[in-house]
Amino acid sequence: MFKPFVHIQNLNLSYRHKAVLKDLYWEINVCENWVLFGESGSGKTSLAKVIAGLIPAQGRVEVDFDPISKLPAEVLFVESWYQFKNLEGVANFYYQQRYTSQQAKETLTVHAELVAYGKEKGLHLDQVEPILAALNFSSFASSQLIELSSGEHKKLQLVKALWLKPQLLIIDQPYTGLDVASRQNLNSLLDGISSQGVQLILISNDAELPSSIHSFAEIKDGQLITSAKRDLTSVSVEKHNRKIPDFLKESPVYSSNNIVKMVDVNISYGEKQVLKNINWEVKAGEKWLLQGHNGSGKSTLLSLVNGDHPQSYANELYLFGNRRGSGESIWDIKQHIGLISPELHWYFDATSTVWQSIASGFYDTVGLFQQLPYSKSAQVDALVEYFGLTESKNELLNSLPLGKQRLVLLARTIIKNPELLILDEPYQGLDQQQTQHFNQLVDELCSNGMTLIYVGHFESQLPTCIEKRILLEKGEVKVVESLNTKTRHCEVRSNLLHRTI
């Protein structure tokens, strides 16, 4: 009888006296590749970290590495997002720093990071080039780490993992921030290293998976449920029946019918042009989908709308009826906007509680630094209850599972019932049920007149209210189109699935 590659028995793990894993049992045989999926907070990431030896737990965890394999006898765990530091070893960046530090060399470049990683792991640089090309990442060699978007950071994580090819590779949310083509190429690369002996555990709720995946597991009440088919597991999506708080039923008070107007906008960093002659207009109450390849300029475009980019003053840009640079401050602009993005999540104040994090949305800060009046406190309490966060409201934000952290920041985004809602990859870390619940809320808010700019690569996660679409390609506008809302839900997903975006 063959010995299993991974053997887990009687595994127990608790956080703050709450049991997460309970006498969990799991055997992974040689050549098996798995997907671990299910509800946010069920313990998927914790189990992965235990297998990788990153956190302690009670019970038996054995990994039987192949002593004659040429692959490193190592379990590599790839986090859901990339944690990096500046050249002085400090990681306390602030949100706008990505756009204000282009001239300063504050972090390593992608090339320097790969050189350091290759030296640490004994890898040859020529072996990484095909991986960079397959993920369309070769052109980012000279980019500083702080300049990268969430999708580009995910690509850097994946490049390093695919380059190393450990005997066991565990990737948390492998498709986060990746465009359609990159997801397809990643699956091909994962199949490739699997054929070379790398065994995979992917933590993902996504439908698109490598063809080498044949086993599925879900954590339910601390136990592992395994299956040969995903649809035999117990994940279900039910309709969210909570009524939205009364203050969100009111239509936003618009200061102007013109929310955004860009006239021949150009953004460059030295010789690198990121946006080229952008012309775009968003009217009050419109619902837009913003799409494009990783690196197409989406994040830079949003930084102009949100008032974060210093080059906005050198362009003809109008926000909420006023030309940028006509006397308004960045805080005047942000008062009109509710924003969530992966970058904002990265840099959010780790010492804030759930309640404080939501309340900070009134002031557009990354922490709460003043006492709220009763009326605003009541609104925070209403959203805490609506999102099912009552038991966690006094806990630190970073102590929660990733999905619940994202729910907190989604609540922060809508707390002031803004004129403009900017949702940049809003559902990273959420399970299917949480995603559907928030989509219902977005649709209801938009039916009350809120303006929406939504950025997302996953067609299955789009709210139904979207009525217009802008597509960027290499910094230029390639498509601006209206979508028939009656047939959009079927047509746009069909169209997008067959386009390279």
The Cβ of residue 257 has, within 10 Å, a number of other Cβ atoms equal to 10
Q: Are 51 and 120 contained in the same domain?
A: yes
Per-residue pLDDT of 159-171, as tens digits, reads 999 999 999 999 9
CATH at residue 112 = 3.40.50.300
What mean pLDDT do residues 472-485 have? 89
**Sign, Cα dihedral of 294, 295, 297, 300:** positive
Q: Are 334 and 225 contained in the same domain?
A: no
Q: Are 167 and 251 contained in the same domain?
A: no
Q: Are 351 and 227 contained in the same domain?
A: no
Select the more confidently predicted residue: 262 or 456.
262
Residues in the chain: 501
Per-residue pLDDT of 258-300, as tens digits, reads 999 999 999 988 788 899 999 999 999 999 999 998 888 998 9
In this predicted structure, the answer to whether residue 92 has a pLDDT above a threshold of 90 is no
What is the band of 231 on the pLDDT scale with cuts at 50, 70, 90?
A: low
- Helix, strand, coil percentages in the chain from 3-state DSSP, rounded to 5: 35, 25, 40
Per-residue pLDDT of 427-436, as tens digits, reads 877 888 888 8
Which residues, other chains included, contact 132 with Cβ-Cβ below 8 Å and sequence gap of 6+?
138, 141, 159
Task: Give the C-alpha separation, 105 to 147, whole Å.
Answer: 11
Q: Are 153 and 176 contained in the same domain?
A: yes
Task: Give the C-alpha separation, 313 to 405, whole Å.
Answer: 34
Task: Give the C-alpha separation, 88 to 390, whole Å.
Answer: 40
Specify if 279 maps to a domain: no
Task: Give the C-alpha separation, 284 to 297, whole Å.
Answer: 23
What is the band of 107 on the pLDDT scale with cuts at 50, 70, 90?
A: confident
Q: Are 227 and 347 contained in the same domain?
A: no
What mean pLDDT do residues 194-208 have? 93
Plot region of 390 (φ>0 → left; ψ -120 to 50 → alpha; else → beta):
alpha
pTM given for the model: 0.85
Select the more confidently predicted residue: 398 or 347.
398
Instruction: For the chain, give the mean pLDDT.
Output: 87
Specify if 50 maps to a domain: yes
Q: Are 213 and 362 contained in the same domain?
A: no
241 to each of 162, 277, 386, how far by Cα in Å?
A: 43, 45, 10
What is the band of 39 on the pLDDT scale with cuts at 50, 70, 90?
A: confident
Number of structural domains in the chain: 2
- pLDDT at residue 86, rounded to an integer: 54
- pLDDT at residue 373, rounded to an integer: 93
Specify if 403 maps to a domain: yes
- pLDDT at residue 330, rounded to an integer: 86
Q: Are 190 and 107 contained in the same domain?
A: yes
Specify if 188 maps to a domain: yes
In this predicted structure, the answer to whether residue 94 has a pLDDT above a threshold of 80 is no
Task: Give the C-alpha separation, 330 to 339, whole Å.
Answer: 14
DSSP string computed for 52-81: TTSS--EEEEEE---TT-SS-S-EEEE-SS
The Cβ of residue 405 has, within 10 Å, a number of other Cβ atoms equal to 19
- pLDDT at residue 105, rounded to an integer: 62
Q: Tell me which residue of 129, 181, 127, 183 sits closest to 154, measured CA to CA.
A: 183
Specify if 98 maps to a domain: yes
* H helix intervals, 360-474: 374-386, 402-414, 432-447
Q: Are 220 and 294 contained in the same domain?
A: no
Angle of helix 110-121 versus helix 150-164 axis, rounded to 10 = 20
- pLDDT at residue 89, rounded to an integer: 53
Q: Are 175 and 251 contained in the same domain?
A: no
The region of weakest confidence among 15-24, 43-52, 368-377, 458-467 is 458-467
Specify if 277 maps to a domain: no
Specify if 265 maps to a domain: no
Q: Are 252 and 153 contained in the same domain?
A: no
Q: Are 66 and 196 contained in the same domain?
A: yes
Select the more confidently predicted residue: 379 or 434.
379
Specify if 262 maps to a domain: no
Per-residue pLDDT of 43-65, as tens digits, reads 999 999 999 999 999 999 999 99
183-197, 232-246, 475-489: which is most confident = 183-197
* H helix intervals, 171-319: 180-195, 298-305
Domain that holds residue 38: 6-232
